[in-house]
Structure 1
Amino acid sequence: MTVQPTIAAVADRHIGPRGNDAELMLKQLGYDSLDALVDSAVPADIRQSAPLALPAARSEAEVLADLRALAAKNVTAVQMIGQGYYDTITPPVIRRNIVENPAWYTAYTPYQPEISQGRLEALLNFQTMVEDLTGLPIANASLLDEATAAAEAVLLMRRSNKAHAEGRTVLDADLLPQTIAVVKGRAKALGFEVQAADLSAGLLEGDISGIVLQQPGVSGRVYGHAGTIAAGKERGAMGTVAADLLALTLITPPGEQGADIAVGNSQRFGVPLFFGGPPAAYMAVRKGLERSLPARLVGVSKDSAGTPAYRLALQTREQHIRREKATSNICTAQALLAVCASMYAVYHGPEGLKAIAQKVNADARTLAAVLAGAGFELVSDTFFDTLTVKVPGRAEGITAAAEARGVNLRAIDADHVGISTGEGTTAGHLALVAEAFGAAATAEEAAAKVAAAGPAAGFGLGTDLQRTTSYLQHPVFHSHRSETQMLRYLRRLADRDLALGRTMIPLGSCTMKLNATAEMESITWPEFASIHPFAPKHQTAGWRELIADLEARLSEITGYAGVSIQPNAGSQGEYAGLLAIRDYHLSRGDDQRDVCLIPASAHGTNAAPAVLAGRQVVVVATPADGTIDHADLAAKIGANRDRLSAIMITYPSSHGVYDADVRQVCDAVHAAGGQVYIDGANLNALVGLAQPGRFGGDVSHLNLHKTFCIPHGGGGPGVGPVAVAEHLVPFLPGNAAVAADEGKGIPVSASEFGSAGVLPISWAYVAMMGAEGLTSATRNALLAANYVASRLNEHFPVLYTGQAGLVAHECILDLRELTAATGVTAGDVAKRLIDYGFHASTLAFPVAGTLMVEPTESGDLGELERFIDAMISIKGEIDQVAGGDFTVEESPLRLAPHTAAAAISSSWGRKYSREQAVFPLPSLKMDKYFAPVGRIDGTAGDRNLICSCPPPEAFEN
C-alpha cells in the first residue's frame, strides 16, 4: 500500500531539526520558542506584517503531477531551428551518472582542491578538449553561454590591446543575432563603439580594437577567416572566432587561422536544449593572454608528497577578490554541464566525434541536394550543418508546413528559411523537410529522393578549410569506450570528491542545503529538456506558464513588482539590476548619475558588476562592529550627491548580522536621488520574515542556486533572477533574440529565459514548501546558525553579532588571535576539517583569518554536533601547538589532509600518532573519507602553469 505523504512532511524532510531537537537548541540559546528567537534577532521595523500570499503547500506526488501537466503543454518536435542551439543525444550513462547523480550535482565550487580532485579532472578534460579543438593552448573551465562569452572576449581584447583600446569593436554580421545583441548591450553600458558588418567584404575603415567572427556563420556559411584576421592584425586589431566545437572536428581550427581568442558553447556535446540553457560556454586564448582569461582555470600542481594534483589556478582573477578592479563579473560558471560535455568527448573519443560531425554534415548535404534539385537556391554552397534557403515570400508557409509535420525550422524573414541538422537527425526527418518545401508530392517520394540523393558532392565544407591536424590524443579520450568503463570512470572520479550527498558543507555565503530528489526529477523529462528556446510560443506554453508562475511567487516573496529570471548567474543578476538603475536614471535625464556606493560589508561580488555597468565604485567604511559607518556614508553621499546612482548593500550583511539601520541607510540614499540595490545573496535569512522590496529596496537579485535549492553542481549552473520595484519594471532585461524588444532593457543572456532548464527545481521547492514551510526554513536557518555560534564561541570567538548578541543565518569564527599566538591559520583548520570528513567553511571571506559558517536549515542536530565536535577537537590540536607538544610545522593541522597512502607508509616519522591523523574522533572509524591527495602547492602550480591533461606517466610515482 502506498502512503501519501502529508503536506507537512515535505517541509519536515527539508528542515533538519526534528522531534525535540529545536527545543534543545533553543535551550542552549536561552529562548523558549523560535518566535522569541526571531523576534530578538530580526529588527522589528523590517518585519513583514502578514504571511506570504502563496498557494498552499503541495505534496511531492502532487507537485510532480503538476509538473507533468505543465510539461504536457509543451510540444516536443524535431528541432532544426539552429541559431546556436542544436539537436544532440545525451548518452544515458552520462545523464544518469552525472546530471541525475547527487555525487556530482551537490558538489561545491572546487576552492578546496584536495576534496575536489574528481570534478577538477573532469574540468581539466573539458579544457583539454577545447584547447585541442580550437587549436589554442589555454582554455578556461567554462563560461555561461556563447553570447556572454563573446562579450567577455570583446572586453579581453580591449584591455589586452592597449594601443588600440579606444578603437571600435567590429562584429561580423553573420554572428548569432543574440550574440550581437548581448555584446552591444555590454558596450552600451561601458560606452565603447561596436559595429556589425559583413566582414567577408573586407574590414571597415578607422581604428579597430578587435573583430569577432563566427564559424560557421548563423547563415550556415563556412569560409576561411585567416585573411580577415591577418588584415585586422596589420591594423593592430585582435581577432576572436565564435566556433562550433563539433564543426571543428572537420574545419581548420581558429588557432590555426590566426585567432587570438575562440569562444562558443559545448551544448552539442550531449547537453540538452533545456529551453535555452544551461549550456557550458568556453573561451580559449593564445599564449600571453592566460593571465587575463576570465572565469576559472584548472591547472596541475603537486601535493605534499610530490604527487601531481589538480587545483584552480590564478585564483586572484576571481571577481570577488579583485572587487572594483575586476575585469569580469563571472562568478558562477557552468561546471556541471562542462563535466557532461567533457565526458561526451571522453565517451566518443576523436573518432566518434568526427563520425558524428560527418553524419551531421552529410545530412545537411543530402538535404541541400534534394532542395537544389527541386529548384531552390541556397545562400551558400559551403556549410557544415545549416542551410539558408531562398524562398521568396514563402517562409511562413514553409515553416508552418514543417511544423504540421512535427519539425521546427527557422523563418529568418519572409524570404529565407534556415534549417540545421543535428546528431539526432534521421533520413525520415529530412524527408519531412523536403515535403514541407514542396520538393516532393508525397511522403514516399520525399523519402525516395532523400535516399537517392545521399550526401551529394558540390556542397559542404570545401577543401581549403578541411582540418588536417589531430586532436584529443590524450589517453583519457581513448580509454572509456564501453559503458562499463565509462560508468566506473565516473564513479571513480565522484568518489574522490566530498559533496553534499556525503556530508554537510557549512559554507557561509553559499547556502549548501538539501536539493530534494523530487525537485530535481523533472529537469531531464523530454517535455522540458528537448524544447528549443526559439520554438514557436504556442509550443512552449508549459514552460512559459511555469516561468510566469515562478516569477510571480518570487515577486511575492521579495515584495517587488516584477521579476526576470533571465540572468543565468547571481553576478549576472547583479549586473541586470544595475543596468535597470542606469537606464532609469537615463530615462529621467540624469545622465551624470554614475557613482555606486558599496559598503565594505557588502557581498564580495558586488563591485565587479558595478564596474561593468559603467559605475564608479566608492567604498563606504565599516567600523569594528561590522555595521555601516554612518558618518562615512553621509560624507560619501554629500561628496557625490549629484552623481549618486545607487548603493549596493547586502542584507543581512556579509558579516552575518541583521543591521538594525537598514531603513535609515535606504532613506538617506533615496533622499539624495539614488536607488537602493539590496543584494539577495542572503535572502534565505529573510524569506517569510521580511521583504527587501518593502523595507527600502528598489532592486535585488536572488540566487536560485542558494535560497531556492538549485544545486551548485561543482560551480554551476546558477540562476540569478532580478527583482525590481514598479518604476524599474520597464528596464528589466529584454530578449536578445528579438531585434528590438520594445519596452525592455539590455539583454544579459543569450536566451530570453536564461538557464530555464533548472527552473523546475525552484518551482517545485516553493510549491512543496508553501508560505509556512518557507518561513519555517528561514527560522530554522537562524536557529542552526545561532546554535553553532553559541556552541563554538568559547573555542573560536564569533566576530560579529547583531541585536541581542545574535547572528543571522551564518557566523564568522575569528581565528586571528589563535594564529598570532600559535601560527595555526584558518587555512590549516580548513585542511584539517577534511580529515574529519567535512568540507571547510568559507575561508578568509569577508575577513582574512576567519572562517564563515552557514549550517542552513537542512542540518539536523546530529550533523551539527558532528561538525561542532570536529571544530572543538581541532581547537584541542591548536592547544597542543600552544602547549609545545609539536610545532605548527610538525602538527596534524599543517600536515593535513592525511591520505591513506601517508597513513600506511612504513616511514611515518611524525610527532603525533597515525590514529590522531586519520581517526581524530572515534566516530570516524566506521565511515572514513580519505582525501585522494595531500595538501596542494598552489603557488608552484601558478608559477608553472599546466592547464591541460598531463600524461599518465606523471602519476606513475
Structure 2
Amino acid sequence: MNMNDTRFPATLSQLEQRDDFIGRHVGPDEAETRAMLHALGLDSLDQLIDRVIPASILSPSPLALPEGCSEAEALVRLRGIAGKNRVFRSFIGTGYHDCHTPAVVLRNVLENPAWYTAYTPYQPEISQGRLEALLNFQTMITDLTGMEIANASLLDEATAAAEAMSFCQRLSKSGAKAFLVSHDCHPQTIEVVRTRAEPLGIEVIVGDPATELAAHECFGVLLQYPASTGELVDYAGIVDAAHAKQALVVVAADLLALTLLKPPGEFGADVAIGTTQRFGIPLGYGGPHAAYFATRDAHKRVMPGRIVGVSIDSHGNKAYRLAMQTREQHIRREKATSNICTAQVLLAVMASLYACYHGPQGLATIARRVHRLTAVLSDGLRELDVRVLNPSFFDTLAVGVADAATVHAAARRRGTNLRELDSQTVGISLDETSTRADVEALWAVFAQHAAVPAHLPDFDAVEARTPEMLPAAQVRTSAFLTHPVFSAHRSETKMLRYLRTLADKDLALDRTMIPLGSCTMKLNATTEMIPVTWREFGGIHPFAPAEQAQGYAQLTAELERMLCACTGYDAVSLQPNAGSQGEYAGLLAIRAWHASRGEAHRDVCLIPSSAHGTNPATAQMAGMRVVVVACDDQGNVDVADLKAKAAQHADQLAAIMITYPSTHGVFETAIREITEIVHAYGGQVYIDGANMNAMVGLCAPGKFGGDVSHLNLHKTFCIPHGGGGPGVGPIGVKAHLAPFLPGHGTTGLKGIGAVSAAPWGSASILPITWTYITLMGRDGLRHASVMAILNANYIARRLEAHYPVLYRGETGLVAHECILDLRPLKDSTGISVDDVAKRLIDFGFHAPTMSFPVPGTLMIEPTESESKAELDRFCDAMIAIREEIAKVASGEFDAKDNPLVNAPHTAEAIAGEWAHPYSREEAVYPLASLRENKYWSPVGRVDNVYGDRNLVCACPPMSAYES
C-alpha cells in the first residue's frame, strides 16, 4: 500500500469517513458524475442546481440534521431505541392479534427484495408472479366470506369500513342520508367512519342495530362479526330488516373465525370487509396490514381498489392482469367515491401464502384451538366466580370485575395486557400464539380479585368438561379454500419452490432499473429493511399502554423532527398509511382550520389540469368543489387563469392542490407567485409531495408558500413499494394547521379525528425511513436530490436526439424526471407507447410511466440510486427501439409484423414455429449484452380488452396443478 496515495487515507478519521452510506445509496461515482456533467455542458453539480431550481426558492443553508453515519452505527442506535419497547403478551384484540409468520414466508417474501422492491403490477407481463399471489388472495377472501368477488386488498379494516360506507351510499336506492354502525364495532372503526362521513354530509348513527333500524332511515348498516366484545350475534334477521328498508349491509368479519362460522355471504350481507393481519402478519404497533373488501359480482365496477383478473396473452395462453384498470376510482376524478390508488400488496401476498402454507384444514385447526382455549378460559373464570358477560364467543371474552384498573395493574405485573372496556369490564382475546400457560396466567390474575379466594382451576379437568361454545345455527357447513393451490404446497420444499417460481416471473429492483416517472423506484437498502422484523417493533399491539412503547415514542418523535427539517414545516403526523390518506388528511386539516375561523363556507379547491387523479378525488371526499386551473403549453400552471379563478371564487376559496416539481417534471418559476395569489384570496396551499425526491436539501415546500404537504415515504424516503404497497403518507403542516392534524381516541389527540385504524398508521415500517435519513444525514440527503436531477437530465440529453423531450424548464433542463413524446411516431408509423413499453421487456426493463400526465408519452424517473452504466443500458435500449421504429417507417420491418408490435417475446414463442419476417435473434437479443443476462417474459402481450369483457377473478385453473 502506498500511504502517499490519497486513495488510501492515513488517518483514522479519514478511514472512518470512507465507511459512510452515501456512496452505497447514490449510484454514480465521481468519474461517472463528471462524465454526465460533461454531457450536459456543465462544470459542476452546483451549476446544474442553479439552472434547474428557481433562485427564489433555493435553500442557502443545510438541513437542520446531523451528519450521516455508518450502517453499523445506525443499527446500534436503532437497536437501542427498539430496546425501550417492552413486548408484553397482549390479549387486547379489537382486530389485532399476535400470530406466527411461517418462516419460509418471512425469509423468502417479507425479507426478499424480489418481492418487496417490485412495483404495482400495471405492466402485467412482468408481474405474473405477484398477480398470481394476489389472485390467490382474492380467492381466499371470497371463499372465507362467501362473497362473489374481492379486491386485491385495501389499507386497514377501519378505512375499508369507510370505503364500504361510500360504496353503500353510491349503490343504495333508499335516498337516506344516514349510515348505521353497530355499537359492537371496533372503536377505531367507528372513529374512522365518522371522520370520513362528516365532510360528505353523512349522518353516522351508532347503536344497537336491532332497535335503531326501526327508528331511522339509512342507506347502509355496518356490523361486526364476531362483535368487538366477543359475542356471536345471529345477524340474519337484521340483514333482512335492513334490506326491507333498501339499506345495504356491511359485515366486518374476522377471517380466522370464518373458518368455523357461517360466512357473511350466506346470511345475506352485501359487503364483507376486514383485516388479514392475523394471517401471518406481525402486529407492528398497528401496521402495515392488508385489509380486504368483498361484495357481490353485480357491484364490481363500484368497488374501491384493484381487482386481479384472468385474461389471455397474444398466444392464447392464460395470463393475469389488473382487471378493469380504467375502473380505478381516481380515474373518475372529482366524481370519485374513493381516492385509493394503492393497496397493501406485500402483506396481502403474505396472507395468501399463510393460507397456502396451512391449507383449509390447518386454518380450521388453528381456529378450533384458539376457540377451545377461550372456552377453557371462560369455564375456569366461572369456576373462580368471575362474571363472563358473553354467553357465546369465538376468541374474545368480556369479563365483569369490581375494579378494572386493579385487574389491569395485576395483569401488567405479569407482563400481560388486557383490553380496557370500562371501569368494571375488561376484555380478553386469545390468538394463534396463546398457550395453556397463558390461560393459567390469566386465571391467576383474576383469582387475586375473585369474590371468594380459591385455588386455580385444574386445566385438564376444566378442558375435559368444557363443551364447544359456538351456537349451532352459526356453525359453518360450507367448504372453503378448495382450490389445489391451498393444499399443493404444504411441505416447505414445495412452498420454497413455489415462491421461487412466482418471483422468477417478475421484474423488480433486484434485477433492473424501474424508470417510472413520479414513482421514485429507488434503492431500499438492506440495512434499512432489517429492523422491520425485529420483535421489539413487530410484537407490540397498537393499543398497548404508552409506557410499553417508549421506543416507538422516541422513534416517531425523532422521525417527525427529521421530516420537519426536510420539508420546512412545523409539525408532522405519521398516521396516514398511504399517500391517498395523506392527501385526505391534509385537506381535512385545511377544512377544519377554515371552520375554526368562522369560514366553513370555503369549499372551492383549485386543481391544475395536469394533476394526478387522486387530487380531485380527495377534494371531493373532503367535501370540496373542484375548479380546474389551466396549464400552458409548457405544462406550467397558467398564472393568469389561476388569478381569474381565485378572484372568481374569492369568498369560497379553500385551497389549491399543486404538485411540485410539477407533474411534467419541471420546477415552475412562478411557484411563489402561485402561493401568494392563493393566500391573498384567503386560501391555503396544499403541495403534493409526490416529487419530494427532487427537493430534499435543496428547497422546502414549507418555506416557499406551502401550508401542508403529504409525503410518500414509499417514494422519497425509501420504504419499498412491495408490489403496490405498503406505503406511508404522513403530512407536514405549518404551525397554524398543527391543531388540526389527525387525532385518535386511544391517544387523546383531538384534531380532525382518525384517518387510519392505528394511531401511528403503519408504524412498523417507519424504522426504514428513520434509518435512511440517519444514514444519509444532511449532506447525503441533499446529494441524493442533486443526483436524482443529474440522472434525469443525463437521460433526457442522451435521448433527445431520438425522442422529443416534451417539457423543460426555462434553462432547457428538467427536474428529476422527463417526458418523452411518442405521439409523432404513432402518427407516422403506427407504433404506440404500448409497443415501446412491451418491447422494453425484451431488453429486460420495466417500462416508464405510460400516458401520464400526457397520453402517448413516457415519463422517466431514474432516481439517484442508478449508476451511469445502468442509465446507459436503459438509453441504449431506448435508442435501439427507436432504430427499430425507423425500420418500420422505412418499410424494412413490416408495419403489422415487427419486433415492437409482437413484444414481448416468450421462450415458448421462440422455440416454436417461426413465421415472422424478422429473425429470432432480432426478437430476443436486440443488444449483444442481453446474451449474458436475459429476462424472459413468462407470457406474451396480455389482452386487456378480452380481460375486461371476460372478467374472471379466481385462482388459476385446476389444470395448472394437474401432474
Q: TM-score, normalised by structure 1?
A: 0.98
Q: What is aligned with 1:20? A: 31
3-state SS in 2 of match to 1:310: strand
Q: 1:285-307: per-residue Cα shift (whole Å, max 9, x none)?
A: 01210111100100000001111
Structure 1 counterpart of 2:347, from 325, 334, 337 = 337
User: Quick check: 2:384–2:454 contact (8 Å CA) kept in 1?
Assistant: no
User: Quick check: 1:175–1:214 contact (8 Å CA) kept in 2?
Assistant: yes
Counterparts of 1:594-609 in structure 2 under 5 Å? 594-609=603-618
CA distance in 2, matches of 1:458, 1:189: 49
Report the CA distance between 1:56 and its aligned residue: 2.2
3-state SS in 2 of match to 1:410: strand
User: Quick check: 2:894–2:917 contact (8 Å CA) kept in 1?
Assistant: no
CA distance in 2, matches of 1:318, 1:14: 34
Structure 1 counterpart of 2:97, from 69, 81, 86 = 86
Counterparts of 1:494-893 in structure 2 under 5 Å? 494-737=503-746, 741=748, 743-893=750-900
User: Quick check: 1:427–1:451 contact (8 Å CA) kept in 2?
Assistant: no
3-state SS in 1 of match to 2:191: helix
User: Quick check: 2:67–2:778 contact (8 Å CA) kept in 1?
Assistant: yes
Q: 1:564-623: per-residue Cα shift (whole Å, max 9, x none)?
A: 010000010000000000000000110210000001133342111111101111110111
CA distance in 2, matches of 1:190, 1:255: 28
Q: 1:692-735: per-residue Cα shift (whole Å, max 9, x none)?
A: 00100000000000000000000000000000000000000001
Letter in 2 for 1:260: D
Counterparts of 1:289-438 in structure 2 under 5 Å? 289-392=299-402, 394-438=403-447
CA distance in 1, matches of 2:463, 2:83: 36
Tell me the C-alpha RMSD between the 2 structures: 1.6
Q: 1:229-262: per-residue Cα shift (whole Å, max 9, x none)?
A: 1111011111010000000000000000100000
User: Quick check: 2:576–2:728 contact (8 Å CA) kept in 1?
Assistant: yes
- For this pair of structures, how many residues does the alignment match? 949
CA distance in 2, matches of 1:774, 1:240: 46
User: Quick check: 1:5–1:60 contact (8 Å CA) kept in 2?
Assistant: no
Q: What is aligned with 2:152? A: 141
CA distance in 2, matches of 1:742, 1:358: 39
Q: What is aligned with 1:270? A: 280
Q: 1:451-499: per-residue Cα shift (whole Å, max 9, x none)?
A: 3211754662211100000000000001011111111100110000000
1:76 counterpart = 2:87 = yes
Report the CA distance between 1:48 and its aligned residue: 1.3
Letter in 1 for 2:105: I
Q: Which moved more, 1:120-129 or 1:444-453?
A: 444-453
3-state SS in 2 of match to 1:834: helix
3-state SS in 1 of match to 2:252: strand
In structure 2, list runs of 5 or more residues that go unmatched. 1-11
Q: What is aligned with 1:153? A: 164
CA distance in 1, matches of 2:39, 2:15: 36
Q: Which moved more, 1:196-205 or 1:627-636?
A: 196-205
CA distance in 2, matches of 1:165, 1:713: 40
3-state SS in 1 of match to 2:21: helix
Q: What is aligned with 2:132? A: 121
Q: What is aligned with 1:226? A: 236
CA distance in 1, matches of 2:58, 2:461: 72
Letter in 1 for 2:701: P
Letter in 1 for 2:627: V
Letter in 1 for 2:275: N
Report the CA distance between 1:19 and its aligned residue: 3.3
Report the CA distance between 1:951 and its aligned residue: 1.9
Q: What is aligned with 2:5? A: none
Q: Which moved more, 1:317-326 or 1:146-155?
A: 317-326
CA distance in 1, matches of 2:630, 2:432: 56
Q: What is aligned with 1:920? A: 926
Q: 1:328-375: per-residue Cα shift (whole Å, max 9, x none)?
A: 111121000000000000010000000000011011101000101111
Counterparts of 1:239-250 in structure 2 under 5 Å? 239-250=249-260
CA distance in 1, matches of 2:752, 2:464: 45
Report the CA distance between 1:5 and its aligned residue: 6.3
3-state SS in 1 of match to 2:869: helix
Structure 1 counterpart of 2:114, from 93, 103, 106 = 103
CA distance in 2, matches of 1:449, 1:481: 36
User: Quick check: 2:839–2:899 contact (8 Å CA) kept in 1?
Assistant: yes
User: Quick check: 2:447–2:456 contact (8 Å CA) kept in 1?
Assistant: no
3-state SS in 1 of match to 2:879: helix
CA distance in 2, matches of 1:625, 1:440: 74
3-state SS in 2 of match to 1:804: coil
3-state SS in 1 of match to 2:181: strand
CA distance in 1, matches of 2:243, 2:467: 33
Report the CA distance between 1:203 and its aligned residue: 2.0
CA distance in 1, matches of 2:532, 2:204: 37
Letter in 2 for 1:920: P
Structure 2 counterpart of 1:938, from 928, 944, 949 = 944
3-state SS in 1 of match to 2:903: coil
Report the CA distance between 1:889 and its aligned residue: 2.0
User: Quick check: 2:684–2:707 contact (8 Å CA) kept in 1?
Assistant: yes
CA distance in 2, matches of 1:4, 1:532: 43
CA distance in 2, matches of 1:557, 1:143: 29
Report the CA distance between 1:76 and its aligned residue: 1.1
3-state SS in 2 of match to 1:37: helix
CA distance in 1, matches of 2:317, 2:89: 49
3-state SS in 2 of match to 1:949: coil
User: Quick check: 2:376–2:466 contact (8 Å CA) kept in 1?
Assistant: no
Q: Quick one: percent identity of the two aligned structures?
A: 57
3-state SS in 1 of match to 2:297: coil
Q: 1:269-292: per-residue Cα shift (whole Å, max 9, x none)?
A: 000001000010000001210111
3-state SS in 2 of match to 1:208: coil
Report the CA distance between 1:662 and its aligned residue: 0.2
Letter in 2 for 1:872: I
Q: Which moved more, 1:170-179 or 1:315-324?
A: 315-324
User: Quick check: 2:608–2:637 contact (8 Å CA) kept in 1?
Assistant: yes
CA distance in 2, matches of 1:796, 1:476: 46
Q: TM-score, normalised by structure 2?
A: 0.97
Q: 1:179-238: per-residue Cα shift (whole Å, max 9, x none)?
A: 000001111111111100112446242321010000011110011111101111011111
Residues 582, 446 of structure 1: alpha-carbon distance in 2 compared, 3 angstrom cutoff: farther
Q: What is aligned with 1:54? A: 65
Q: What is aligned with 2:7? A: none
Q: Which moved more, 1:661-670 or 1:322-331?
A: 322-331
User: Quick check: 2:372–2:468 contact (8 Å CA) kept in 1?
Assistant: no
CA distance in 2, matches of 1:657, 1:736: 42
Q: Which moved more, 1:348-357 or 1:637-646?
A: 637-646
User: Quick check: 2:330–2:340 contact (8 Å CA) kept in 1?
Assistant: no
Q: Which moved more, 1:607-616 or 1:761-770?
A: 607-616
Q: 1:120-139: per-residue Cα shift (whole Å, max 9, x none)?
A: 00000000000000000100
